[in-house]
Amino acid sequence: MTGWVGRSLPRIEDPALLRGEAAFTADLAIGARAVRFLRSPVAAGRIAALRPPPDMPPGALFVTAADLPEAGPIRPMLHRFDYRAVEQPVLPRERVHFAGQPVAALVAPTAEMAEDLLDEAVFEVEAEEAVVDLDAALRPGAPLVHAVAPGNVAVEGALRQPGVEAAFAQAHRVVEFAFRSGRQNATPMETRGGLAAFDRATGRVRLTASCQMPHALRSGIAEVLGMPEADLQVVAPHVGGGFGQKMALFPEYPVLVWLARRHRGSFAWIEDRNENLTASAHSRDQRHALRAAFDAEGRLLALEAEILANVGAFSTWPVTCGVEPLMAFAEYPGPYKVPAYAARARGVLTNTCTMAPYRGVSRPVITFGIERLMDRAAAALGMDRIAIRRRNLVDSFPYRTATGMTLDEASYVEALDAAAALADIPGFRARQQAARADGRLLGLGVSVFNERTGYGTPAFAARGMGIVPGYEVVDIAMTPTGEVEARIGASPHGQGLATALSQIIADRLGMQPGQVRIVAGDTDRTPYGWGTFASRSAVIGGGACQLAADRLAERLRAAAAKVLQTTPAQVTLRDGQAFGANDASLPLAELARLAHWRSDLFEGFSLAETAAYDPGGTFSNACHVAEVEVDPETGGVRILRYLVVEDAGRIINPMIADGQVRGGIAQGIANALFEEVVYAADGTCLTGTLADYVVPSCAEVPEIELHHMETISPATVTGAKGLGEGGAIGAPAAICNAVSDALAHLGVDVAEFPATPPRIRALVRAAEASIEARP
């Protein structure tokens, strides 16, 4: 071991990106025939006419469902929770289900020409009544988005533990909280896009795509098109962010692959920002109602949650439309001891863009719910807000939750206490009072949460998923010149995974990280694996790398023992050399050369190994504290201070870990205060540009103070826990608690986020009106 793990090693990914030499999908697509999609302008309707432009120039193509008779639907499965198997046609024949749904593809030599031609295509649709929001979809007699889902409910989970009624009956206080979470778009800086290139020599297609799960995408496309999977290669080159949005099998990709096969050429679709904002995938459009029973000491006796998630028009492949409602259902209690739990979660279909997982999935929503509930309970019980949390946090491990998950070692109470101390709450209260005297409104908010990370197949299987992701496989080998190549199924898209994994491997083999090459994002060159999502790659990919490297180390020790005339147990690997018993040593490069070229000395020796890793999962945790100033005249919120105490177990590369937390918080701030996808009543998406969908800049995102705890997880081989999502999870609750605190004297309580200036103004106006109306 040479201690690379734990160091803020500069990222090996950076130089090519900084020189502008790293290739993203669009960079590779130049010269391919351009594909643009004709998209439905209406949210619901019957297709009356669909015809190509009257004057199609040579080389132009117009592709509709009629051209793809062999293409099956995209139909993800869930074998539980009353799941209705909604299916999405690659291109629709009869009806459209949301504004933005691709209806036809138009191919031309350039994207400009394709867009010109699209204007001339004939698409007539008899518009039907669209159901856009939860109320409209659940109204008795509402039009059905899909006949297969009566009442527009696609998935439903319900649980009522014994003891819930009794707990409410004996409660000292029942606290309720109903709220709404606005719809968000993950908004990676690079939009989706794909280049499908036919290789005439082999008959294979290479799909280069901006995606997070290349192997699964390959499987999904092969299934939909009924083609041999071996005839398709999927490559994820440099990917400009994903955050969950790029996990799904979108209909555009099978169309590209079909075009390449049918027309024996190269076809590229590069999504524009309008398509990304309206027709890729959305998230977090939910409404929850909570009831909680507390005893006189502030002990939570029971929690009841009613969860409604607008899942859009279709079910996202492979995770299904159950992903958001069922995560809220399973994980609502979070880090708290909840002796009795009842919940009902429904995924509701509407004529809007389909939902997909987005950083944290439902956790930002449930954390908002339970953390706002804690503040309300503290007020109702006259308790301190930190004290009520401390009283209820899980403090002995392992802890089995109401929904059967096992919480491993964590630092829920310790992180809360540390954050509260760092925040200097008494000092803040004094400043708050002083500011109030000057007419300035300051507020402080806290959120505590845990984050389920690094979970393998058991967790996904428990959800009843038809396709069960979870494991990762790593193929590792040493080249004759002594570098190590690790081929991984995980597929990074900005996380710096290659750097982090090279640190793990270098430690196990006594090498420099620079001697390690990570091969990722190519189904031809990597073993089948699930990709990068759900805060899993450092834990599961990292665990598999560690196991594979240990096996390779055994082989190296055995080979070195032969050369050094000692036993493998006597051999240590360090500083790029194998050392024997009496300090005799051999450079690993020399050993590698011998192993490959003089294998006769080693009885057919090889320096290749494979390892798989499939852990049960672990829980990171954190406490966020936000200090804000609210301008009651404009409704604007300024974040004055943002503090995090984070525990993600063993940190592999602190710089990268901090970057994940900070980036997550920026997206959580966006979720708390700025970003919202808005639909008109007829199902037209009103936020189709970045001028309408407000992504915060560095003027809105403050410096973030980060403090780490390291509770080494016994649940993972590296001791590391994932942390990719936590920042996004904790921020909406902390900020909205702070906003509510700033406005508490008016009786304002934030129950809808993002807490945009118009919403805060409306709350302030209503509060002032009700104060004036008092006798």
Partner 1 sequence: MKVAFTVNGAPREAEVEPRRTLADMLREECGLTGTHLGCEHGVCGACTVLLDGAPVRACLMFGVQAEGAAIRTVEGLAAPDGTLNALQRAFQAHHGLQCGFCTPGFLMLATWLLERPDKLDEDTMRHVLSSNICRCTGYQGILASVRAAAQELGRWAG
CB of 265 to partner 1, least distance (A): 18
User: What does the alpha-carbon distance between residue 165 and residue 261 come to, in Å, rounded to a whole number?
Assistant: 61
The b-or-e profile of 306-344 (16+ CB within 10 A means b, else e) is: ebbbbbbbbbbbbbbbbbbbbbbbbbbbbbbbbbbbbbb
Q: How many helices (H) and strands (E) does the chain have?
A: 20, 29
Mark the segment that binds partner 1 (CB under 8 A) among 291-299, 432-440, 535-543, 694-702. Answer: 694-702
Q: Interface with partner 1 by CB under 8 A: which range of 12-20, 80-88, 447-455, 566-574?
A: 12-20
Which of 411/660 has CB closer to partner 1?
A: 660
- Stretch binding partner 1 (CB under 8 A), from 233-241, 474-482, 565-573, 766-774: 233-241
Binding status of residue 23 toward partner 1 by CB under 8 A: yes
Contact stretch for partner 1 (CB under 8 A) within 258-266, 309-317, 664-672, 733-741? 664-672
Site for partner 1 in 305-334 (CB under 8 A): none
Q: Does 272 bind partner 1 (CB under 8 A)?
A: yes
Q: DSSP E strands: which ranges in 281-438?
A: 286-294, 300-312, 341-349, 399-400, 406-407
Rule CB under 8 A: say whether 458 interacts with partner 1.
Answer: no
Minimum separation from the CB atom of position 569 to partner 1 (A) = 41
Q: Tokens standing for 147?
A: 């006949």
Q: Report d(CA 361, CA 382) in Å as an integer.
A: 33
- Residue 188 binds partner 1 (CB under 8 A): yes
Q: Which residues of 668-695 are buried (b: 16+ CB within 10 A; e: fewer)?
A: bbbbbbbbbbebeeebbbebbeeeebbe
Say if residues 162 and 340 touch (Cβ distance below 8 Å). yes
Which CB sits closer to partner 1, 17 or 65? 17
Residues 6+ apart with CB under 8 A from 314: 74, 86, 87, 88, 97, 321, 354
Sign of CA dihedral 240, 205, 67, 63: positive
- Spatial distance between the Cα atoms of 40 and 102, rounded to a whole number of angstroms: 6
Q: Cite the beta strand spans of 295-408 per DSSP E.
A: 300-312, 341-349, 399-400, 406-407
Q: Which of 35, 60, 194, 40 shows the shortest CA–CA distance to 103?
A: 40
Tell me whether residue 57 or residue 480 sits nearer to partner 1 (CB atom). Answer: 57
Query: Of these, 273, 431, 650, 707, which contacts partner 1 (CB under 8 A)?
Result: 273
Does position 655 interact with partner 1 (CB under 8 A)? The reply is yes
Stretch that binds partner 1, among 397-405, 527-535, 565-573, 656-664 (CB under 8 A): 656-664
- In the list 211, 340, 393, 704, the residue contacting partner 1 (rule: CB under 8 A) is 704
Find the shortest distance in angstroms from Cβ 101 to partner 1. 22
Give every CB contact of residue 595 below 8 A, 6+ residues apart in sequence: 478, 559, 602, 605, 606, 607
Residue 25 CB, nearest distance to partner 1 (Å)?
11
Among 194, 298, 347, 494, binds partner 1 (CB under 8 A): 494
298 binds partner 1 (CB under 8 A): no
Q: Is residue 598 classed exposed, middle or buried when 0-12, 13-18 and 19+ CB atoms within 10 A define those classes?
A: exposed
- Residue 360 in contact with partner 1, rule: CB under 8 A: no
Q: Where are the extended beta strands (E) located within 570-701?
A: 572-574, 577-579, 585-587, 608-613, 618-630, 637-647
Interface residue with partner 1 among 89, 92, 237, 240 (CB under 8 A) is 240
Instruction: Say whether residue 10 binds partner 1 (CB under 8 A).
Output: yes
Residue 375 has a CB neighbour count (10 Å cut-off) of 26
Please count the residues of this chain forming the interface with partner 1, following the rule CB under 8 A. Answer: 55
The answer to the question of residue 454 lying near partner 1 (CB under 8 A) is no
The 726-745 site mask, x for binding partner 1 (CB under 8 A), equals: -x------------------
Residue 675 interacts with partner 1 (CB under 8 A)? Answer: no
DSSP 515-554: GEEEE-SBTTTS-S---S-TT-IIIIIHHHHHHHHHHHHH
Considering only residues 689, 714, 747, 758, which one is a binding residue for partner 1 as defined by CB under 8 A? 689
Binding-site member from 390, 662, 707, 761 for partner 1 (CB under 8 A): 662
10 Å CB burial of residue 589 (0-12, 13-18, 19+) is middle
Minimum CB distance to partner 1, residue 487 (Å)? 22
Tell me the C-alpha to C-alpha distance, in Å, between residue 294 and each of 11, 116, 367, 504, 672.
Answer: 49, 63, 18, 46, 28
Judged by beta carbon, residue 495 or residue 620, the one nearer partner 1 is 495
Tokens of 36: 């643009």
The answer to the question of residue 641 lying near partner 1 (CB under 8 A) is no
By the 10 Å C-beta count (0-12 exposed, 13-18 middle, 19+ buried), 633 is classed as exposed
**Contact between 223 and partner 1 (CB under 8 A)?**
no
22 part of the interface to partner 1, by CB under 8 A = yes
For partner 1, give the closer residue by CB, 238 or 452: 238
For position 775 contacting partner 1 by CB under 8 A, the verdict is: no
What gap in Å lies between CA 612 and CA 445, rounded to an integer? 42
Are the CB atoms for 315 and 88 separated by under 8 Å?
yes
- The answer to whether residue 496 forms part of the interface with partner 1 (CB under 8 A) is yes
Q: Does 17 bind partner 1 (CB under 8 A)?
A: yes
The three-state secondary structure class of 231 is helix
Is 195 near partner 1 (CB under 8 A)?
A: no
Nearest to partner 1 of 569, 699 (CB atom): 699
> Quick one: which of 585, 573, 478, 496 has its CA closest to 538?
496
Asked if residue 666 binds partner 1 (CB under 8 A), the reply is yes
| 112 binds partner 1 per the rule CB under 8 A | yes
Which lies closer to partner 1 via its Cβ, residue 591 or residue 639?
Answer: 639
State how far the Cα of 468 lies from the Cα of 464, in Å rounded to an integer: 8
Per-residue x/- marks for partner 1, 140-179, CB under 8 A? ----------------------------------------
Residue nearer to partner 1 on the CB measure, 11 or 759: 11
306 phi, psi to nearest 5 deg: -110, 115
Which residue in the set 84, 287, 385, 493 belongs to the binding site for partner 1 (CB under 8 A)? 493
Contact status: 695 vs partner 1 (CB under 8 A):
yes
Under the binding rule (CB under 8 A), the answer on residue 495 touching partner 1 is: yes
**26 near partner 1, judged by CB under 8 A:** yes
Taking CB under 8 A as the criterion, the residue among 30, 296, 437, 769 binding partner 1 is 30
Task: Check: CB of residue 103 under 8 Å from CB of residue 92.
Answer: yes
Binding site for partner 1 (CB under 8 A): 10-11, 13-15, 17-24, 26-27, 30, 112, 187-191, 238-241, 243, 272-273, 493-496, 655-656, 658-659, 662-667, 689-691, 695, 697-701, 703-704, 727
